[in-house]
């Protein structure tokens, strides 16, 4: 069978399609991140997924927390923004392409996760081709520049916004990752298209749920209309997975909005970066 690579629908639009410029831009975001001392082992990170010029300065904080590290497997979980029917999806391709090279998909890990999900939830991962989804791909150049080893990807796109499904996905991910040299990455933006003052209030509430390491609180925040995240199902699944893997605290590293880049504060998108830690 031919090795099929997913072509990038984002290069040249959401980030630069020139590999040298892209590498320089991503390295600049990583270099600019001023991290606090991280007390513990990094089990996962949470990063935004807008075009690099908008959310790159925030995403740099998340990926700086794993810069120079070596992993065999990256479990990357983000939302599916497009109207597929299935609740949990993965790529049908063997690899993702970016201008920095191809990222191979760990088909064995995908199959293992699919099997566990079918047992736990009654359904598994639906493979998709020619998807336009950006929430996973936008993180790949950061991972390509930050990580020091060759690695494979376990990609999951979550359309569901239900605690039962997120918790089931999280527990299944933990089973797959438990004995592997791996890292969890959640992809989410925060509030969308409110004015800056309103966005800051909404984002504070969602970031507090993250920092409280409480996935159910995050669902409650959104249900009450007090905060929003397009990747709610994705980042809560990663929190549940990290908890199963022994993580015990979350540090929010950075928050900003698109207004901080564009100067337009009338209608902004919120971006947050966080690290999930297991205390030493």
pLDDT band for 222, please (50, 70, 90 cuts).
very high
* 2 confidence band (pLDDT: 50, 70, 90): confident
In tens, the pLDDT along 90-108 reads 999 999 999 999 999 999 9
pLDDT at 6 over 90: yes
Q: Which one, of 263, 274, 261, lies nearest residue 55 by Cα?
A: 261
Residues 15-68 have pLDDT tens digits of 999 999 999 999 999 999 999 999 999 999 999 999 999 999 999 999 999 999
H/E element, 200: helix 196-211
Residues 6+ apart with CB under 8 A from 102: 5, 95, 96
pLDDT tens for 149-206 read: 999 999 999 999 999 999 999 999 999 999 999 999 999 999 999 999 999 999 999 9
**Which domains are seen in the chain, by residue range?**
5-201+209-278 (3.40.830.10)
Would you say 147 and 239 are in contact if contact means Cβ atoms under 8 Å apart?
no
């Amino acid at each position: 069978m031919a090795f099929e690579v997913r072509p990038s629908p984002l290069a040249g639009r959401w980030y630069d399609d020139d590999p040298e410029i892209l590498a320089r831009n991503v390295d600049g975001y990583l270099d600019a991140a001023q991290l606090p001392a991280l007390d513990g082992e990094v089990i996962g990170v949470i990063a935004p997924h807008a075009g690099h010029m908008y959310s790159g300065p925030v995403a740099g904080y998340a990926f700086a927390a794993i810069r120079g590290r070596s992993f065999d497997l990256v479990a990357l979980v983000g939302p599916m923004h497009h109207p597929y029917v299935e609740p949990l999806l993965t790529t049908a391709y063997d690899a993702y392409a970016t201008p920095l090279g191809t990222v191979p998909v760990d088909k064995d890990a995908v199959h293992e996760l699919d099997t566990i999900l079918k047992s736990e939830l009654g359904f598994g991962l639906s493979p998709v081709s020619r998807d336009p989804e950006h929430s996973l791909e936008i993180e790949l150049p950061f991972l390509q520049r930050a990580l020091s080893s060759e690695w494979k990807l376990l990609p999951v796109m979550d359309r569901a916004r239900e605690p039962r499904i997120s918790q089931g996905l999280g527990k299944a991910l933990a089973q797959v990752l438990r004995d592997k040299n791996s890292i969890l990455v959640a992809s989410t933006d925060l509030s969308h298209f409110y004015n800056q003052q309103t966005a800051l209030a909404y984002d504070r509430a969602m970031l507090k749920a993250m920092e409280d390491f409480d996935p159910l609180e995050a669902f409650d925040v959104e249900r009450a209309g007090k905060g929003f995240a397009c990747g709610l199902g994705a980042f809560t699944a990663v929190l549940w997975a990290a908890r199963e893997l022994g993580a015990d605290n979350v540090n929010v590293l950075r928050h900003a909005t698109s207004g901080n880049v564009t100067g337009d504060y009338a209608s902004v998108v919120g971006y947050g970066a966080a690290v999930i830690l297991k205390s030493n």
